Structure 1
Amino acid sequence: MPRATQRPAVLADPSDFLDLARSPNGPRVLNDYLYSDEPQLALHIVSFQDATLISISLPHTLTDGTGGGRIYLSWSLALQGRDDEIPAFHGFDHDPLATFGETSSESYMYADRLVTGWRAILFKLGQWYDSVRYRSESRVVCMPAAVLADLRQTAIEEIRAATKDDEAFVSDNDVLCAWFTRLAISDTPQTSDRTIRIMNAFSLAAVLGNDRIPSAKAYVSNAATEMYAFLSAREIFTKPLSYTAYAVRRSMMNGGTRNQVEALAALKRQYMAENGEPPILGDATMEMISFSNWSKGKFLETDFSAAIIKEGSPRAARANRPGIPSYIQFNAWSKKFQIRNIFPIMGKDAAGNYWLQGPLREGVWDMIDRKLKAAD
């Protein structure tokens, strides 16, 4: 299994562990759920002398990263006999987002970037050709805590100097997304003006916590939207990392308001009603890099210690407490298209290291590996 490193490193292919992650006859497509007694939420456990592998399988229509975190927290509390602390769930009989986006008080800030007509056709043809011409390869990346802390501190200093704003900042996620986006487009010429769209999944739970999704209860269904930053490849390669990180931060600040998330929901609702498919924001030839940070789900803090019968690895040999995950990975199945350029950030482990993974065009991971090794 992948282990934390002292320097940023490309590690294993997540698919190498698929046989340990699911039962041989586990569901892969919709019909496997419709024509069997398989539950949407399935548990698979493999035990060794020194470790236990716990795998959860589910369709994304069931929950998102934040909702999944609430489910695992509740499971953990139940294991510990703390049933009275399990948060009440929003019921399935009412959808608080059913009318979200039916009205909007303002226009979406990137409405002018909607790709339509022949540009949409060109975009789809490009995506189709890329998926047919190149296979996808997935890898896991470890970003050590100390390295990210240095990158973030440097970025904050540069941003404050450039903006003359002593309060300006970027988060771990902003820096991590900026750092990895530069690597993910390694096969793009550094002088290219091609648009790079950096998308971050954004939970609606907090911004709608005062009305549609009251924070007093746990909402475990999907409640996410997207935050977009648009840069050119030239900017990402030639400007400091802080430039891209701050663009990601501004996308959150400007797009994450109550009015803007509703404006985007309204745009998507109207476009879906008129065209029967989700809208595309960007341009016809852009490269899309997408992130989903699961840190708020606290998967790497899930406490299974109440289930321990005998400890495995000695405590001195690991950073995590017994019963706390030391490693998490993600595998996705999609029948109709190759999932590419989508990177879940699994979160921060007990030592402060971040883990992320995802699929890239064949050959790009080798380029990233060489770059990281050359930087050591």
Structure 2
Amino acid sequence: MAPQESTAAAAPDLVIPLHYYDNNTMFTSITMHAIFVYDQVLDPEKLRSSLSQLVGHETWQKLGARVKKGSKGYELHVPRTFTSARPAIAYKHVSLDMAKADHPAASRIPSSSSAPKDRPALMGNPEDWTELCCGADAPKTISDYVGSDRPLTGLRVVSLKDATIVNLHWLHAAADGMALKAILDNWQLCLQGREAEVPLLHGFEEDPLRELGLHPKEKFDLEGSELSKWGTASYALRNGYNIAIGAKETRTVCIPGSFLKKLRETALEDLRKAGETDTFVTDNDLITAWFSRLAFSHLPSSKPCTIMQAMSIRRALEKDLLPAGRPYVSNCLSYTSVLKTKKEVDQSLGLLAKDIRRGINKHGSREQIEAYWSMGRKNEWPLGPMPIFFGQSNMHHIGYSNWEKVRANFTDLSAACTTGKEGPLYPSFVTQIQGGIAYPDGFIVTGVDPAGNTWLEGYRPGGLWAHVEKLLKADN
């Protein structure tokens, strides 16, 4: 489906209803920006044409759909043929006649080489480089797409004399983090002239998750701890200002590999002292436990705390809803929560990490996913199938999404390098920027870079980052 000018361009669009789990207020209120900074000059036309080629590929066309409001809700209108008038992707190229170090915003972007060697640190405020990377006119919510004929997927390339900033952006309703992995992997294939290796997507014209949550065989593990309608109303009253209009601050955190190794040693010792025979915890468990202790550090000891994590459920659904080996580019998530008090969070890094691991293992089973979304379906009105909040109405709630399996830090765009490049070309920095509604206390682990550093982006209510920074500098 390469762009072409012909009578086929006048054919009616293919109309697809927005999939059930894509169509909630959270996903339609957020545009995702995956930002890659390369310390090489890349050919913007090669980047544009290869991404357009991918979106024009059979079954991938949905990424070039236009959003319209139909009689039964949002619809995706997929052009039968992409043309110069109706391209596969939105595209913007900005050329700046200066080096990265000389640009007031670009010079403030961190990198693997500027990362600390032995202790975590705040590495900057993404708000300083958001306009450069995203543009002042960047789409934010679904209202910026409806009726505009804007494709769901966009590319912004900022060229400097010695660097290139690549921004791949999309409405969250089109894709989650693991869908991004499929997009990046296959974009690289197209860039390298290997389009024949691009697989067909599953769930192009039909919704494979349309019955997820309709056939529960057991109760969800935390059923009974969810916020009631009155509890939700109370939570909303307490936190509505922070969620909707309150000042938020964003920071980038770098966690060196050497520090993560020390965290693991501490956690394993905690587990041995507690008599735990199964001491398996992942790096994600350790980072979530460690950073949650920082995020809750300003609270009184009796404060109820909930740690919620998003989980891709593609693998769990392979036996029935999603065939193995076929990428599913859409939203395919469930959630796990750990309920604690601030005092319990502080007691042991290892035990907290282990509780996080138990929650992921338990809530990620096929049966628990079905049970969770059975609850979600019962509470879908009026916002759609939204995540369920567990805990108490006066809790402090934080959420995480981990993109490590996306391997965005290893996105190789060497085929677009203007000077030729032997071997792969990986970004010196990867970040994620949300347009639209920013969750008031949410964190995205963007992954591990080639030097072994883990990077985290956090959105917090105004004033809370200062407390975290103070503790990091005190090596607490």
Query: TM-score scaled to structure 1, two decimals?
Result: 0.91
Counterpart residue type for residue 23 of structure 1:
G
CA shift in 2, pair 1:196/1:86, >3 Å: same
CA shift in 2, pair 1:299/1:161, >3 Å: same
Gapped regions of structure 1 (runs ≥ 5):
316-320
Out of 356, 360, 380, the position equivalent to 1:252 is 360
CA shift in 2, pair 1:311/1:187, >3 Å: farther
Instruction: For 1:220 and 1:113, locate their aligned partners in 2 and report how far apart those are by CA, in whole Å.
Output: 32
Q: Report if aligned partners of 2:409, 2:430 keep a CA contact under 8 Å in 1.
A: yes
Alignment of 1:267-278 (within 5 A): 267-272=375-380, 278=386
Tell me the secondary structure at the aligned position of residue 229 of structure 1: strand
Provide Cα deviations, 1:72-102, integer angstroms capped at 9, x if missing partner: 1100111112223323211411211001110
Q: Which residue of 1 aligns with 2:435?
A: 333
Q: Report if aligned partners of 1:311, 1:322 keep a CA contact under 8 Å in 2.
A: no
Alignment of 1:121-200 (within 5 A): 121-131=233-243, 134-165=246-277, 167-189=278-300, 192-200=301-309
Q: Which residue of 2 aligns with 1:59?
A: 171
Tell me the secondary structure at the aligned position of residue 224 of structure 2: helix
Shift of 1:220: 0.9
* Farther-moved stretch of structure 1 (83-92 vs 135-144): 83-92
Q: Report if aligned partners of 1:195, 1:230 keep a CA contact under 8 Å in 2.
A: yes
Tell me the secondary structure at the aligned position of residue 185 of structure 2: helix
Q: How many percent of aligned residue pairs carry the same amino acid? A: 34
Q: Which residue of 1 aligns with 2:151?
A: 39
Counterpart residue type for residue 435 of structure 2:
W
Q: Which residue of 1 aligns with 2:207?
A: 95
Q: Which residue of 2 aligns with 1:344?
A: 444
Q: Report if aligned partners of 1:184, 1:360 keep a CA contact under 8 Å in 2.
A: no
Instruction: For 1:258 and 1:242, locate their aligned partners in 2 and report how far apart those are by CA, in whole Å.
Output: 27
Note if 1:262 corresponds to 2:262. Answer: no
Q: Report if aligned partners of 1:208, 1:258 keep a CA contact under 8 Å in 2.
A: yes
Q: RMSD of aligned C-alpha atoms?
A: 2.1
Q: Report if aligned partners of 1:67, 1:219 keep a CA contact under 8 Å in 2.
A: yes
Q: Which residue of 2 aligns with 1:318?
A: none
Provide Cα deviations, 1:181-233, integer angstroms capped at 9, x if missing partner: 111123212xx222211111101111112221112100010001101111111
Note if 1:220 corresponds to 2:334. Answer: no
Q: Which residue of 2 aligns with 1:23?
A: 135
Shift of 1:129: 4.3
Q: Report if aligned partners of 2:215, 2:374 keep a CA contact under 8 Å in 1.
A: yes
Tell me the secondary structure at the aligned position of residue 105 of structure 1: coil
Shift of 1:132: 7.4
Tell me the secondary structure at the aligned position of residue 111 of structure 1: coil
Out of 173, 179, 201, the position equivalent to 2:310 is 201
Instruction: For 2:297 and 2:281, locate their aligned partners in 1 and report how far apart those are by CA, in whole Å.
Output: 24
The count of residues paired between Structure 1 and Structure 2 equals 363
Q: Report if aligned partners of 2:122, 2:254 keep a CA contact under 8 Å in 1.
A: yes
Instruction: For 2:291 and 2:202, locate their aligned partners in 1 and report how far apart those are by CA, in whole Å.
Output: 36
